[in-house]
Amino acid sequence: MAIITLTTDIGQQDYLVGAIKGQLLSQDDKLVIVDISHYLSKTNYPQAAYICSNAFKHFPVSTIHIVILNFFDADVNHLLLTRHNNQYIICPDNGIITMITGAKPKELAKIAFKEDQTLLGRTAIIAKAIAYINKNENLAMSTDNSLQIVEKYPLKPTVGPDWMEGQILFIDNFENVVINITKDEFEEQRKDRDFSILIARNEQITTISNNYASTVEGDRLAWFNSAGYLEIAVNKGNIAGLFGLQGFNEKMNKLGLVSQNKWIYQTIKVFFKEYT
């Protein structure tokens, strides 16, 4: 049985997610469909990539991942089909694929549709494409590097001799904040030195905890989460709301709106003790 994952920005208040699943099952009623999230941010591609990449890697070989994000943001007449790490990803050609994979995939194909088609018109084509993939295990896709697609790439932390600055990637339902600094990147820059993580307004964290149980209620803590990223939180509190932390917002950034509000922070800085 083929496994399909569905990750979208369309929410679950209406019939659309159910209709898309119906389209898929109409092509093959033996499909296993797994919901990852239906609340991707249309303006926060780093967040979407964080959710997708860290979920996808735990699925079996040949899983097919459907990503519906900003389907109508630009006038295009195709979707992308890629094979990455022995799994398939179907998504719009708007840069999200390279945000997820970190590089232009070596195997690519384009799935054509009409520009005036509705969301369900486009997902019906996806359902047919998946039926074709399942019937053709040795699916041939282009390995021509000249195939043009929209490319965007994950934000990387900026570093100096005694500091590093990371972007806020994700804020969960408990308002814990994930930063785009991995444990390896942190330790490489740290070099066994003492450090302080500046949250906002001179609030600091100076230790890395193993988990929430190693702190008491109300304590601020930093730890490396299951995906290997730096996460800051307040034990049984909401650190994002408390300190005005906000995820990266591409449209607000372009308009310069974020910088006008000094109480909104999109980055977290880490300072390391200078060598003596």
Please report the domains of the chain, with CATH numbers, ordered by start residue.
Answer: 3-135 (3.40.50.10790), 158-272 (2.40.30.90)
Per residue in 117-146, pLDDT (tens digit) is 899 999 999 999 999 988 887 677 777 777
Write down the pTM of the prediction. Answer: 0.87
Distance in angstroms (rounded) separating the CA atoms of residues 152 and 46: 10
pLDDT given for residue 244 in this prediction: 81
Percent with pLDDT over 90 in the chain: 67
Question: How buried is 59 (Cβ within 10 angstroms: 0-12 exposed, 13-18 middle, 19+ buried)?
Answer: middle
Collapsing DSSP to helix, strand or coil, 234 comes out as: strand
| pLDDT exceeds 60 at position 261 | no
- Taken in order 65, 252, 169, 239, the sign of the CA dihedral is negative
Per residue in 187-211, pLDDT (tens digit) is 999 999 999 999 877 789 999 999 8
Distance in angstroms (rounded) separating the CA atoms of residues 156 and 180: 7
Looking at residue 30, what DSSP letter applies? Answer: T
